[in-house]
Amino acid sequence: MKLHGYFRSSAAYRVRIALHMKGLPFEQVSHHLRRGEQRAPDYLAINPQGLVPSLILDDGTVLTQSLAIVEWLDETHPAPRLIPVDPIMRAKVRAFALAIACDIHPVQNLKVLVALKRGGYGQAEIDEWAKAVNAEGLAACERLIANETGPFCFGASPTLADLCLVPQMANARRFGVDISGWTKLVAADAAASALPAFQAAAPESQPDAE
């Protein structure tokens, strides 16, 4: 399999974790997002959204969207399970993942920040926006797992929720958000980050890391 991504992309990071968790070998193709390489015509022919990641299967099938890719990996390579078997737990894990993937990540991502800059925001106001989106979103995530036992977001093993949490906590730290009060999130982030699969998938471990 071939993963089109970028070391700093949170969405590609989620898929790298899943591939490493399942012990699946994969090649990487890097697209430098700040240079706009994801909008090159040859990449748009692969992924019309011009976003990373895309996963190319050995038969040439192209899968896009990180959460859809992780669901596919979990259905076709179920060990270890990243989405629990029980329907209610599946719904809770997915809701947590979507709270990050829909309501935090895209709203603090490059495209919106660029628009805010064009609109007249100064750098301090842009940083404040990104910080506030992360702070508000992660505070809600902490409450979504308030009654879970840990150490991971949902119990004794990592799930799709942790795959989304770890990259987002890295973003929150980068934006200077004080994450220390979210004890469940901090514990899950630490437990996940100690695993070899999460370490192998981390941005700084990628061949295109700068």
Contacting positions for a second copy (CB under 8 A): 48-51, 61, 63-65, 67-69, 71-72, 75-76, 87-88, 90-92, 94-95, 98-99, 101-103, 105-107, 111-112, 115-116, 119-121, 125, 129, 137, 139-140, 143-144
Task: Indicate the helix (H) or strand (E) that contains 157.
Answer: none
Q: Distance (Å, rounded) from C-alpha 32 to C-alpha 23? A: 26
- Beta carbon of residue 194, minimum distance to a second copy (angstroms, whole number): 27
Determine the Cα–Cα distance for residues 196 and 146; give it in Å rounded to an integer.
Answer: 26
Helix axes 160-174, 66-76, angle to 10 degrees: 150
Nearer to a second copy, 75 or 204 (CB): 75
Nearer residue to a second copy within complex by CB, 166 or 195: 166
Task: State in angstroms the smallest separation of the CB of 14 from a second copy.
Answer: 12
CA distance 80 to 23: 9
> Least Å distance between CB 78 and a second copy?
11
- In whole angstroms, how close is the CB of 79 to a second copy at the nearest point? 16
Residue closer to a second copy, measured from CB, 94 or 195: 94
CB of 119 to a second copy, least distance (A): 4
Spatial strand order in the sheet of 62-64 = 27-30, 2-5, 54-56, 62-64
Rounded distance between C-alpha atoms, residue 51 and residue 101, angstroms:
14
For residue 20, CA distances in Å to 34, 41, 80, 172, 201 come to: 26, 30, 11, 24, 7
**Of 40 and 115, which CB lies nearer to a second copy in the complex structure?**
115
Taking the least distance from each CB to a second copy, the nearer of 90 and 193 is 90
